[in-house]
Chain A
Amino acid sequence: MAEVALTDEALREATEKEYQYGFVTDIDSEFAPPGLNEDIIRFISSKKSEPDWMLDWRLDCYQQWRGMEEPDWAFLKYPPIDYQDAYYYAAPKRAEDAPKSLDEVDPKLLETYEKLGIPLHERAALAGVAVDAVFDSVSVATTFREKLQEVGVIFCPISEAIQQYPDLVRKYLGSVVPKADNFFATLNSAVFSDGTFVYVPRGVRCPMELSTYFRINAAKTGQFERTLIIADAGSYVSYLEGCTAPMRDENQLHAAVVELVAHDDAEIKYSTVQNWYPGDENGKGGIYNFVTKRGACRGRNSKISWTQVETGSAITWKYPSCILEGDHSVGEFYSVALTNNYQQADTGTKMIHVGRDTSSTIISKGISAGHAQNTYRGLVKVLGSAERARNYTQCDSLLIGDKCGAHTVPYIETGHPSARVEHEATTSKISEDQLFYVMQRGLSAEDAVGLIVNGYCKEVLKELPMEFAVEAQKLLAVSLEGSVG
C-alpha cells in the first residue's frame, strides 16, 4: 500500500531544489592570459602596482612551487588538475583605479551581493558587520572602514595593505604559513590576487564583526585569496567569511591561505560558512577547495578559535590549525562538514602544543549523505616543551543512507609525560525512530531531517555569531534536501 513508502518518497522529491547561488553576473572582466608562468605573476603584481619586494616574494614562491608535488595522502579522488588550463586573474573592468566610495562601485556588483544577501550599502548592511567583498581576483568594496579606523582597526583589501602598511605585511606575511609550506599554499603565495587584511591594535576590542564575502564569477578562473589577521596584545576580533560560486559543469580551483597571529592576551574568533557550488547530483562540476588556514597563538594567554560550517565544494581539503606557542594559550576548532551527492571532504585540524599549560578543544561533526565521502583528519601534537598541555577531541560522524562513507583519522603525538589528550569518536545514523517521531508531530520529512541534523550540530553552531548561526542552520537543511531515500 501507498503509505509505506511515503517517508522515502517525500525525501526523494525534495532533491529538486537547486543550489540557489548558482547565477552568473554578466560583467566585463579583464583576464590575465591563461596558464601559469613568471609573466603571469609579473602581470598580477603589476596590476596591483606592487613594490619589488612583493614581486620577488611571489617569484621565489613560484620557483619553489615548480619543484613541489601535489599531496596525495588525503582520502579524495579527482582527476589530475591541469594547472596550465586556467586563468589566474580575472577582475571586473572599471574606469579608474579602485572605487573611492560605494557610490562608484558598478551597480551590477552591488546587485550581485544584494542577491547573495550581502547588501553593501552601509545603511542597509547587517547591523554591526563590516564587509570586504571579493569578486574573482579583486576586492570590489569594503564597508565601514572609516568607522573602524576611528578605533585604529585596519580592515582593507590585502592588495592595499601591501602598499599602505608594508611594514606590517612584511613582518607577518608567511610567518605562520611559510613560503614552501605545501603545494597549494605555495601556489597561492605565488599568484594570490586579493583577500583581506586586518590589524587590531593593542587593547582594542574590535567594535564590529568583520567579514569577507568571496564570490567566484568568471569561468575557468581560479580564486587565490590571502587573508592576514593580526590581533595585537590584549585585543579581540571576530571575523567571518562566506563563499559562493556559479553552477558550472567544469571544476574550478580555489586555493586560499589564511594566517592569523594572536599576541599576548589577544583573541581571534574566525568563522567560515563555506557554500561553494558543490556540483550537481551526479557529481558534475563544483569547486575544488584546497585551503591552508593556520593561526599562531604567539602570546601568553592568547586564543584562536576556528568555527567552520562546510557545506559546499566538490572537494574540500582543509585543516585550520593552531600553533600554541604562548604559555597558557588556547586553540579551538569547531567544525560541521556536510557532504551530499558525490561531494568529498577531507578536513580537520592540527593543534600543535609548544607552550606550557596550553589547551585545545576539537569538536568535529561530519555528516555524509548520498554517495559522499567525509573524512576527519586531525593531529594533536604535544612538544617536549609543552608541560601540562591538554586536549579534548570529539569527532562525531552521522551517516544518512547507506551509500556514503565517514572516516576518522586522528594522529596523536605526545612529547611530554604530563600531557593529557582525550579523544572520543562516534558514528551514528539518523534512526527511523527519530524520523518517525518528529514527523508524527507534523513536520515534513525534510524539516524533520533538518531539525535532527541541526540538533546534532548544535555544539558547533552555537559558536557562530548569531546572525550567521541562523543562516548556517538554513543552509544545512537546504544542503540535505533529498538526502534520505
Chain B
Amino acid sequence: MLSIKNLHAEVQGRAILKGINLEIGSGEIHAVMGPNGSGKSTLSYVLSGRDGYRVTQGEILYKGKNLLDLSVEERAGEGVFLAFQYPVEVPGVSNMSFLRTALNSVRRYRGDDIISAAEFLKLARDRASQLGMDQAMLNRPVNVGFSGGEKKRNEILQMALLEPSLALLDETDSGLDIDALKIVSEGVNALRSPQRSALVITHYQRLLNYIVPDKVHVLARGRIVETGGKELALELEQKGYGMLGLDNDTTEAA
C-alpha cells in the first residue's frame, strides 16, 4: 500500500524528517508515537501534500504510484485521507454541503457517478448516527462552534463517507473523553478491511486499546528509532521515551 524510502523533508529550510523508512501493507494499521516535535505531524503533511513541506530526498510509493507526483486533491482522489489534529473552520458552508462536495469531487476523480442530494442525505445521516453525532451538526457550518470532541468526530464522519484506502489520523484521540474515544475508534475499526490501511499518530497508548495496531513505530528527531508490535506502546506508556534514551520534548519543534 505505502512504501516510504529514506524520506527527508524540510519546513522553511529546516530539516524535520531525516531518513524515514516505512512499509505499510494492505489492511494494516500502523501506529506512530514519539515525543513532541519529533516530526509526526510533518510526516502526515508530507504524505497528504501540504504546501511548504518540501521533500529533499527519498521516495514515497503509494499503490505503486509515485505519491510525490500527485497534487493534494489528486492524493485525496486516490484515497489518502488526513484526519486533522486541528480541524479547520469554514464559516458559512454547511457541513452537509461540504461533505457532499468532497464526496462528489473524489467520486468524479475516480470516474464514479455523482451522488444525488437525497441519496447523500440518507448516507450522511446513517454515518452520523453510527458515530453518535447529533443530526443538527450536519447543518451547521463546517467545524464552526464545534467543541474539540465534535470536531474530531466530524473528521471521522468525513472519513467514513470518503472511505479512504490510506487514512492518516493525526492525534485524533487528543481532546476526547473516554466515551468519545470509543465511538471514534469504532468508526475507524468499522472501516478496517483488507483493502484499507491506516497510520495512527498518537501520544497515548490508550487509543491503541481500541484501534489495535499491527505495528508500532517510535519517531524521534526525524527518524524511526524503534519498531515493534502493539506491546511496544504498552511498554512506552510504563517506562516513557527514556527507555529509548530519549527525553520528551528534546527535539526540534515541527
Q: Identify the A interface with B (CB < 8 A).
A: 1-8, 10, 431-434, 436-445, 447, 451-452, 454-459
A330 to chain B, nearest CB (A): 24
Q: Is the CB of A455 within 8 A of B91?
A: yes
Q: Identify the B interface with A (CB < 8 A).
A: 48-56, 68-73, 75-77, 81-82, 84, 87-93, 98, 101-103, 105-106, 109, 141-142, 158, 162
A365 to chain B, nearest CB (A): 10
Q: Is the CB of B162 within 8 A of A441?
A: yes
Chain A residue numbers with a CB within 8 Å of B82 are: 440
7 contacts between A and B (CB under 8 A): A2-B68, A3-B70, A10-B71, A436-B50, A439-B71, A442-B77, A455-B93
With A441-B162, A442-B102, A442-B105 as contacts: A3 and B71 at CB distance below 8 Å: yes
Q: Is the CB of A451 within 8 A of B90?
A: yes
Q: Is the CB of A456 within 8 A of B73?
A: no
Q: Is the CB of B105 within 8 A of A447?
A: yes
B96 to chain A, nearest CB (A): 13
With A6-B72, A433-B88, A455-B141 as contacts: A441 and B105 at CB distance below 8 Å: yes
Q: Is the CB of A3 within 8 A of B49?
A: yes
Interface centre among A10, A442, A455 (most CB of B within 10 A): A442
* The one of B68, B89, B98 that contacts A3, using a Cβ cutoff of 8 Å: B68
Q: Is the CB of B102 within 8 A of A452?
A: no
Chain B residue numbers with a CB within 8 Å of A459 are: 92
Q: Return the chain A residue nearest B81 by Cβ.
A: A440
Q: How far is the CA of A458 from the CA of B140 in the complex (A)?
A: 13
Q: Is the CB of A456 within 8 A of B92?
A: yes
Q: Is the CB of A3 within 8 A of B73?
A: no
Q: How far is the CA of A445 from the CA of B73 in the complex (A)?
A: 8
Chain B residue numbers with a CB within 8 Å of A444 are: 73, 105
Q: Return the chain B residue nearest A457 by Cβ.
A: B92
Q: Return the chain B residue nearest A437 by Cβ.
A: B88
With A455-B92, A458-B92 as contacts: A436 and B72 at CB distance below 8 Å: yes
Q: How far is the CA of A3 from the CA of B49 in the complex (A)?
A: 7
Chain A residue numbers with a CB within 8 Å of B72 are: 6-7, 436, 439-440
Chain B residue numbers with a CB within 8 Å of A1 are: 54-56, 68
Q: Is the CB of B90 within 8 A of A434?
A: yes
Interface centre among A6, A431, A439, A440 (most CB of B within 10 A): A440
Chain B residue numbers with a CB within 8 Å of A441 are: 76, 98, 102, 105-106, 158, 162
Chain A residue numbers with a CB within 8 Å of B49 are: 3, 6
Q: Is the CB of A440 within 8 A of B51?
A: no
Q: Is the CB of A447 within 8 A of B101?
A: yes
Q: Is the CB of A437 within 8 A of B102?
A: no
Extra pairs beyond A434-B90, A436-B51, A442-B162 (16, CB < 8 Å) = A1-B55, A3-B55, A4-B53, A7-B51, A434-B88, A437-B90, A439-B72, A440-B82, A441-B76, A441-B102, A442-B76, A442-B102, A442-B105, A444-B73, A452-B90, A456-B92
Chain B residue numbers with a CB within 8 Å of A455 are: 90-93, 141-142
Q: How far is the CA of A444 from the CA of B54 in the complex (A)?
A: 20
Q: Return the chain B residue nearest A448 by Cβ.
A: B73
* The one of A2, A432, A456, A457 that contacts B51, using a Cβ cutoff of 8 Å: A432
Q: How far is the CA of A418 from the CA of B85 in the complex (A)?
A: 49
Q: Is the CB of B93 within 8 A of A2?
A: no
Chain A residue numbers with a CB within 8 Å of B51 are: 4-8, 432, 436
Interface centre among A8, A10, A436, A458 (most CB of B within 10 A): A436
With A3-B69, A6-B49, A7-B51 as contacts: A439 and B92 at CB distance below 8 Å: no
Q: How far is the CA of A83 from the CA of B71 in the complex (A)?
A: 51
Q: Is the CB of B54 within 8 A of A443?
A: no
B82 to chain A, nearest CB (A): 5
Q: Is the CB of A456 within 8 A of B91?
A: yes
Chain B residue numbers with a CB within 8 Å of A451 are: 90, 93, 98, 101
* The one of A2, A4, A8, A440 that contacts B76, using a Cβ cutoff of 8 Å: A440
Chain B residue numbers with a CB within 8 Å of A447 are: 101, 105
* The one of A3, A7, A436, A452 that contacts B93, using a Cβ cutoff of 8 Å: A452
Q: How far is the CA of A190 from the CA of B48 in the complex (A)?
A: 62
A213 to chain B, nearest CB (A): 28
Q: Is the CB of A437 within 8 A of B55?
A: no
Q: Is the CB of B102 within 8 A of A443?
A: yes
Q: Return the chain A residue nearest B97 by Cβ.
A: A451
Chain B residue numbers with a CB within 8 Å of A433 are: 88
B103 to chain A, nearest CB (A): 8
A37 to chain B, nearest CB (A): 51
B11 to chain A, nearest CB (A): 10
Q: How far is the CA of A8 from the CA of B73 in the complex (A)?
A: 13
Q: How far is the CA of A1 from the CA of B59 in the complex (A)?
A: 11
Q: Return the chain A residue nearest B88 by Cβ.
A: A437
Chain A residue numbers with a CB within 8 Å of B75 are: 440
Chain B residue numbers with a CB within 8 Å of A434 are: 88-90
Chain B residue numbers with a CB within 8 Å of A454 are: 92-93
Chain A residue numbers with a CB within 8 Å of B141 are: 455
Chain A residue numbers with a CB within 8 Å of B69 are: 2-3
Chain B residue numbers with a CB within 8 Å of A8 are: 51
A394 to chain B, nearest CB (A): 13
Closest 4 CB pairs of A and B: A455-B92, A458-B92, A455-B93, A441-B102
A454 to chain B, nearest CB (A): 7
Interface centre among A1, A432, A437, A456 (most CB of B within 10 A): A437
Q: How far is the CA of A325 from the CA of B88 in the complex (A)?
A: 45
Chain A residue numbers with a CB within 8 Å of B90 are: 434, 437-438, 451-452, 455
A12 to chain B, nearest CB (A): 13
Chain A residue numbers with a CB within 8 Å of B88 are: 431, 433-434, 436-437
A312 to chain B, nearest CB (A): 23
Chain A residue numbers with a CB within 8 Å of B92 are: 454-459
Q: Return the chain A residue nearest B91 by Cβ.
A: A455
Q: How far is the CA of A392 from the CA of B25 in the complex (A)?
A: 58
Chain B residue numbers with a CB within 8 Å of A445 are: 73
B167 to chain A, nearest CB (A): 12
Q: How far is the CA of A4 from the CA of B55 in the complex (A)?
A: 8
A478 to chain B, nearest CB (A): 16
Q: Return the chain B residue nearest A445 by Cβ.
A: B73
Q: How far is the CA of A436 from the CA of B72 in the complex (A)?
A: 8
With A454-B93, A459-B92 as contacts: A443 and B68 at CB distance below 8 Å: no
